[in-house]
Amino acid sequence: MKILQLDKNHRLIAEQLSAKGFLIEEDFYSSYQEILEKIRHFDGIIIRSRIPLDKNFLENAKNLKFIARVGAGMENIDAETAQKLNIKLINSPEGNRDAVAEQVVGMLLVLMNRLFISSIEVKNGIWKREENRGTELKGKTFGIIGYGNMGKAVAKRLSGFGVEVIFHDILPNLEDEFATQVSRQELQEKADIVSLHLPLTQESKYYVDGKFIAAMKKNFYLINTARGEQVKSKSLIEALKAGKILGAALDVLEYEKPSFENLNTKNPDLQYLLESEKVIVTPHIAGWTVESKRKLAQVIVDKILVNFS
For the chain, report the end-to-end CA distance as a whole number of angstroms.
9
Is 128 in contact with 151 (CB distance < 8 Å)? no
Considering Cα of 196, then 290, then 75, then 18, what sign does the dihedral take? negative
Compute the distance between CA of residue 285 and CA of residue 54 in angstroms, rounded to an integer: 25
Angle, alpha carbons 76-175-169 (nearest 5°): 35
50 residue type, one letter: R
- Helix and strand numbers (H, E) in the chain are 12, 12
φ, ψ (nearest 5 deg) of residue 173: 60, 45
Question: For 74-197, where are the alpha helices, taking DSSP H only?
Answer: 79-84, 97-112, 115-123, 149-157, 184-190
- Helix axis angle for 12-19 and 290-308, nearest 10°, is 20
> Would you please indicate which residues are annotated as catalytic (active-site) residues?
227, 256, 284
